[in-house]
């Protein structure tokens, strides 16, 4: 951990206490309506963040900070065109705690939503904004309601065409001046990628490697000499053959890149947030991966209609540059049964909010795929050094099938976490991976055989090496079933709290000088929301409802430890990993307090009898998160997380609340001061 990350949270914490825990409002908004045509307008919302704070993109992936979400109230006077764009492009930052690449903004960001105005009457647009802002020491949930008037008299009136054009130009200029720095043009996040270049390069190389792997499949590899012969027939000159080889290779790259470009233009960022967070596309992607895996295992072949292949083949026979292009097109179509799953996987993985990704991915795949065909066409004598086709080609397909099964689980896991299905808890996910990679290892050793496999009389050194690597990976994963963090896989596995059996906790409890469990430390009743919200970290038991926890504190005559937290709160996870995990802290929380974790950002709806009307803003709170966020604001006039409170059995503060601070000794001292105050009050009674 660097020096800034160590000391800045302490500075923020002390400043926070000096300010007497005032409401934190690190994001300021401005709003504007800009006319862009006779029937369309842009709703422009600009967020300006305080220094050290950041706001999350609409397209930040699930599992990290909460994305910024805009909900437009339906009205007959307008309709939305696409989804709100963002400028500038978000920074991509890997968050170790959650294991995801978060997309965030610092300083200033402009969200632009295009609308179509229906009719010429004036009206107001109501927009609900929800999100989260964080700095090095604090996270706060954000809620704003914008009411934006639209002057309908400016729209859908008959005007000369040149007048409309002038209005559009003026509006575009105004939009540039209002929502950009240094007179830059408003753009979607994909049009500028200052901080995501490394991520795009990584994706390019992933796609490039996939293209090389595709060459080693039985649908493609045998076609290399057949294709090269196309450039050598009919006594063509070497110069003409080489030119045609370049056209052939360039055509392959062009075809794959066009596929990525078309998808980027038709879907793009407007569709990416839905693809990356909603359960329907994620389950669909999971099924697609399983479908491709079944194909690789030999259950069926993915083929295109014969008439498509026949037509392109006839065009290829015409020769010349036109024929070279259609020869490339024929190759792409014929090899589809093997390349389709790889291409589909790249396009699925690119659904993360960046329009450039499918284009770059398909360019990288096409470049690698075209490379050997072009090289062998240029230097046909190299063909004599190629390995012969054989059963090893089908083995490549089967290995890819195992990888498709393993990687496809990630999509099902995303839906499982967001919607609290609890299908793929951490140990279930790991168990499947252990089985999949164990089977892969046995396959590499020749102990398993699929439909189209040849008999394996012996294995080579390369195959043995791959088997050793595979089984080593399996051995690495096994301790994760009992609580090992497996940091190498943090971006793929479900959270540690979903683990049912945590050996680390058992070791802590049984080790001398560590946490000694009080057998009388039992909950008064089954916690509410137990099946919905995550378990408390490190094996602690407690509640997720304030009233229920306070009642238990009264029954057991114990002080109440209140943790205002959030699913997307990085600083909360850091406190749990670095402070709560200390044996001195765990012992006190486990034995001396009733613990309650209140998630202020949970979207689960409450039954109507549990709705509360806020005394702070007068609004009715209908979800778990809004109820307890309002409780924090009402009681402490703050909305920052993490925020820790020690209460007596009457719900009164015993010591000053505490925020983010990684000083373990200071946290222990704070807990002890609370216990001392509780004993003092108990004696008075």
Q: Which two tokens stand for residue 334?
A: 């014929």
Asked if the model's pLDDT at residue 40 lies above 80, the reply is: yes
The pLDDT value recorded for residue 171 is 38
Asked if the model's pLDDT at residue 37 lies above 80, the reply is: yes
The answer to whether the CB of 339 falls within 8 A of the CB of 216 is no
* Average pLDDT value for residue range 105-111: 92
Is the CATH number of domain 504-684 3.40.1010.20? no
* Average pLDDT value for residue range 552-561: 94
The answer to whether the CB of 563 falls within 8 A of the CB of 530 is no
pLDDT greater at residue 408 or residue 69: 69
Task: Please tell me what DSSP assigns to residue 353.
Answer: T
Q: What is the C-alpha to C-alpha distance for residues 556 and 218, in angstroms, rounded to an integer?
A: 69
Q: What is the pLDDT of residues 490-525, one digit of tens each?
A: 556 776 667 777 676 566 555 543 443 344 457 898
pLDDT greater at residue 196 or residue 188: 196
Chain centroid, CA 56 distance in Å = 12
Q: What is the pLDDT of residues 164-190, one digit of tens each?
A: 334 334 333 433 343 333 333 333 333
The pLDDT value recorded for residue 308 is 46
25-191: CATH number: 2.60.40.1250
Q: Report which of 337, 488, 493 is spatially closest to residue 400, judged by C-alpha positions.
A: 337
The answer to whether the CB of 59 falls within 8 A of the CB of 272 is yes
Asked if the model's pLDDT at residue 543 lies above 90, the reply is: yes
Domain boundaries, given as residue ranges, for the chain: 25-191, 197-388, 504-684
Q: What is the biggest distance separating any 2 CA atoms in the chain, rounded to whole angstroms?
A: 108
Sign of the CA dihedral running 383, 386, 391, 394:
negative
pLDDT band at 3 (very low <50, low <70, confident <90, very high): very low
Asked if the model's pLDDT at residue 282 lies above 80, the reply is: no
Q: Which residues contact 94 (CB under 8 A, 6 or more apart)?
A: 100, 101, 102
* Average pLDDT value for residue range 616-636: 88
The answer to whether the CB of 367 falls within 8 A of the CB of 209 is no
pLDDT band at 589 (very low <50, low <70, confident <90, very high): very high
Neighbours of 488 (CB within 10 A): 11
The pLDDT value recorded for residue 647 is 95
């Amino acid at each position: 951990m660097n020096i800034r990350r160590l000391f800045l949270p302490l500075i923020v914490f002390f400043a926070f206490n000096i300010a007497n825990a005032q409401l934190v409002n690190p994001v300021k908004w401005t709003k504007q309506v800009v006319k862009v045509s006779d029937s369309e307008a842009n709703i422009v919302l600009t967020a300006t963040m305080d220094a050290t704070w950041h706001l999350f993109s609409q397209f930040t992936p699930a599992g990290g900070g909460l994305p910024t979400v805009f909900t437009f109230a339906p009205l007959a006077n307008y309709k939305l065109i696409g989804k709100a764009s963002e400028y500038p492009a978000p920074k991509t930052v890997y968050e170790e705690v959650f294991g995801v690449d978060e997309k965030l903004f610092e300083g200033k960001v402009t969200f632009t939503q295009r609308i179509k105005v229906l009719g010429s009457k004036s009206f107001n647009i109501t927009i609900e904004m929800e999100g989260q802002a964080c700095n090095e020491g604090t996270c706060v949930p954000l809620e704003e309601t914008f009411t934006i008037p639209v002057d309908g008299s400016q729209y859908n009136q008959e005007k000369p065409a040149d007048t409309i054009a002038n209005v559009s130009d003026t509006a575009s200029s105004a939009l540039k001046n209002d929502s950009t720095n240094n007179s830059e043009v408003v753009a979607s996040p994909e049009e500028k990628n200052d901080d995501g270049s490394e991520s795009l390069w990584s994706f390019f190389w992933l796609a490039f490697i996939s293209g090389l792997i595709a060459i080693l499949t039985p649908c493609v590899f045998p076609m290399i000499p057949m294709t090269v012969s196309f450039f050598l027939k009919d006594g063509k000159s070497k110069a003409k053959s080489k030119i045609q080889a370049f056209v052939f290779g360039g055509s392959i790259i062009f075809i794959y890149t066009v596929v990525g470009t078309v998808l980027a233009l038709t879907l793009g960022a407007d569709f990416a947030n839905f693809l990356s967070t909603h359960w329907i596309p994620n389950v669909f992607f999971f099924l697609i991966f399983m479908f491709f895996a079944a194909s690789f295992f030999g259950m069926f072949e993915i083929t295109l209609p014969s008439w498509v292949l026949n037509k392109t083949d006839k065009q290829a026979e015409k020769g010349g540059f036109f024929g070279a292009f259609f020869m490339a097109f024929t190759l792409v179509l014929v090899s589809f049964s093997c390349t389709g799953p790889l291409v589909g996987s790249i396009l699925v993985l690119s659904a993360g909010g960046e329009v450039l990704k499918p284009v770059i991915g398909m360019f990288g795949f096409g470049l690698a795929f075209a490379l050997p065909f072009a090289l062998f066409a240029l230097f046909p004598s190299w063909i004599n050094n190629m390995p012969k086709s054989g059963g090893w080609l089908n083995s490549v397909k089967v290995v890819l099938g195992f990888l498709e099964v393993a990687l496809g689980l990630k999509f099902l896991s995303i839906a499982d976490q967001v919607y609290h299905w609890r299908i793929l808890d951490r140990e279930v996910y790991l168990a499947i991976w252990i089985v999949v990679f164990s089977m892969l290892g046995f396959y590499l050793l020749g102990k398993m055989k699929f439909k189209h496999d040849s008999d394996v009389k012996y294995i080579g050194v390369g195959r043995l090496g791959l088997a050793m690597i595979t089984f080593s990976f399996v051995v690495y994963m096994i301790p994760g079933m009992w609580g090992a963090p497996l940091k190498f896989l943090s971006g793929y596995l479900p959270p540690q709290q979903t683990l049912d059996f945590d050996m680390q906790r058992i070791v802590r409890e049984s080790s001398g000088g560590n946490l000694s469990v009080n057998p009388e430390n039992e909950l008064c009743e089954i916690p509410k929301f137990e099946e919905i919200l995550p378990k408390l970290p490190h094996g602690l038991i407690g509640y997720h409802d304030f009233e229920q926890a306070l009642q238990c504190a009264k029954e057991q005559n114990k002080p109440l430890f209140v943790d205002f937290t959030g699913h997307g709160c990085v600083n909360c996870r850091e406190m749990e990993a670095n402070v709560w995990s200390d044996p001195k802290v765990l012992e006190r929380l486990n034995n001396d307090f009733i613990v309650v974790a209140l998630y202020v950002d949970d979207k689960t709806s409450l039954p109507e009898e549990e709705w509360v009307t806020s005394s702070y803003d007068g609004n009715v709170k209908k979800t778990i998160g809004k109820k307890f966020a309002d409780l924090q604001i009402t009681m402490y006039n703050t909305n920052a997380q993490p925020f820790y409170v020690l209460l007596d059995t009457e719900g009164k503060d015993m010591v000053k609340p505490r925020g983010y601070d990684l000083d373990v000794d200071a946290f222990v001292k704070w807990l002890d001061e609370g216990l001392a105050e509780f004993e003092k009050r108990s004696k008075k009674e």
